[in-house]
Amino acid sequence: MSLRITVIGTGYLGATHAACMAELGFEVLGLDTDPKKVEQLSAGILPFHEPGLPELLKKHTTTGRLRFTTSYEEAGAWGDVHFIAVGTPQKAGDHAADMTYVDNATTALAANITKNALIVGKSTVPVGTARRLQELVKSVAKTSVNVELLWNPEFLREGFAVHDTLTPDRLVVGGGTVEAVATLRRVYASALSLDTPFITTDLETAELVKVAANAFLATKISFINAFAEVTEHAGGDIRVLADAIGLDKRIGRRFLNAGVGFGGGCLPKDIRALQARVSELGLDRTMRFLSEVDEINLRRRERVVHLATEILGELDGRTIAVLGVAFKPNSDDVRDSPALDVAAQLYNAGADVSIYDPEAMNNARARFPRLNYADSMDDALRGSHLTILLTEWEEFTSLVPQQLEALVESNSIIDGRNVLDPQTWTERGWRFESLGRRSESVLISSSQ
């Protein structure tokens, strides 16, 4: 018999997982406590930007294979495998993760399950959560049904979420009886047929794999950004340095792009939650390096504001065009976005900030309504004294000076992502600044 799948929490992760499970042929019911989201998704409208996902949503809501609800009663009675994909944001005023949503979702679901079923956690959680939830499930589930809880962390990247869900590079499953793991193998049969590694382990390892991966990636970015600070002071070109060390296969070139740093709904809060959790375990020093990783990352934002001040003399009353506010290209996510943070810092320092982003305008406006949101890139650039590139959308990385010259007031640009060719700009008489390269070293290295 075909498995019926529910996905609890239909945000970036859950909506993607639900639509991809439908694409794999399963009947899927997505559940969210936000009725507006459920209404939109039911109508085949994706409330966020994710390439390839609108098509899957439309396709499967039309056939009825994919439905959405706010009812735990319906989900609990219907599903065989329930994925938990609700948020685990940072707590206000604390580094720890806010587990309210996971706890509420698990309690409501378990209490409403009326047939034998699996609960499979996908949210990123502090180690120890799954074992605690097992007890919670035991205490609220009906005694007439057998409900097992496993953990199956998610590694998808926003911008590539459909690809990563349909063809993940690995699957990690923590806990579960042999039968439960076999059921999960049926869910992932398509990926397994492509020889995707399927790693079964205990609950704690599964939880830790996810946060360890994110901590490693954050560290790699801050590592190169720390060297960017050095080259800014000592001379040198961070891109050449990254290329050269990246050729060492033990190091690898990916995640070594110096720039304004990492952000989004995962890396920043995950490294903070990991520190908080490890401190709770009495290991205060163990993850302390991650607070340095965090600080290096946040200092890069200050560096952009410092460069802007250096170029403009003062920010008050000066017009700055900010290109990009999403935390990364191909996403409209502005959670902890370095770009939006820089824009807000410039605004708070008195600058007249005009923003353009191909997809993230609405989300950014909802967070910082007082910034100017331009209708087009040209509108953002018109009359600006300084242009700052902060998200590497393709339409920005392919910019050439001639495109801007008829619009801007002054030929000054900060490349906050190190994606433009410095020589092209400086040869046209632009003041060109970037992160990790002094302007004079830019000239030397780019002419080699």
| Residues tagged active-site | 266
- Read off the amino acid at residue 366: A
Q: Shortest CA distance to 41 belongs to which of 26, 54, 51?
A: 54
Asked if 433 touches ligand NAD (CB under 6 A), the answer is: no
Q: What is the phi-psi region of residue 255: left when phi exceeds 0, alpha when psi lies from -120 to 50, beta otherwise?
A: left
Q: Name the β-bridge partners of 97.
A: 90
- Read off the amino acid at residue 66: L
Considering only 3-11, 183-191, 312-320, 435-443, which stretch makes contact with ligand NAD by CB under 6 A?
Answer: 3-11
State the Cα–Cα distance between residues 113 and 72, nearest whole angstrom. 9
Q: Shortest CA distance to 344 belongs to which of 313, 365, 374?
A: 365
Give the x/- contact pattern for ligand NAD in 99-138, rule: CB under 6 A.
Answer: --x--xx-----------------xx--------------
Helix (H, G, I), strand (E, B) or coil at 119: strand
Q: Both tokens of residue 380?
A: 């953002």
Asked if 265 touches ligand NAD (CB under 6 A), the answer is: yes
Q: Shortest CA distance to 432 belongs to which of 417, 413, 418?
A: 413
Q: Report which residue's Cβ sits closest to ligand NAD.
A: 11
Asked if 87 touches ligand NAD (CB under 6 A), the answer is: yes
Number of residues in contact with ligand NAD, rule: CB under 6 A? Answer: 26
Asked if 12 touches ligand NAD (CB under 6 A), the answer is: yes
Asked if 10 touches ligand NAD (CB under 6 A), the answer is: yes
Considering only 2-10, 22-30, 140-148, 379-387, which stretch makes contact with ligand NAD by CB under 6 A?
Answer: 2-10
Give the x/- contact pattern for ligand NAD in 403-432, rule: CB under 6 A.
Answer: ------------------------------
Asked if 238 touches ligand NAD (CB under 6 A), the answer is: no
Q: Which of residues 31-60 bind ligand NAD (CB under 6 A)?
A: 31-34, 37
Burial 275-294 (b: 16+ CB within 10 A, else e): bbbbbeeeeeeebeebeebb
Q: Both tokens of residue 171?
A: 């699957």
Asked if 120 contacts 153 with a C-beta cutoff of 8 angstroms, the reply is no
Considering only 135-143, 152-160, 298-306, 307-315, which stretch makes contact with ligand NAD by CB under 6 A?
Answer: 152-160
Asked if 232 touches ligand NAD (CB under 6 A), the answer is: no
Q: Which residues bind ligand NAD (CB under 6 A)?
A: 8-14, 31-34, 37, 85-88, 101, 104-105, 123-124, 154, 156, 158, 265-266
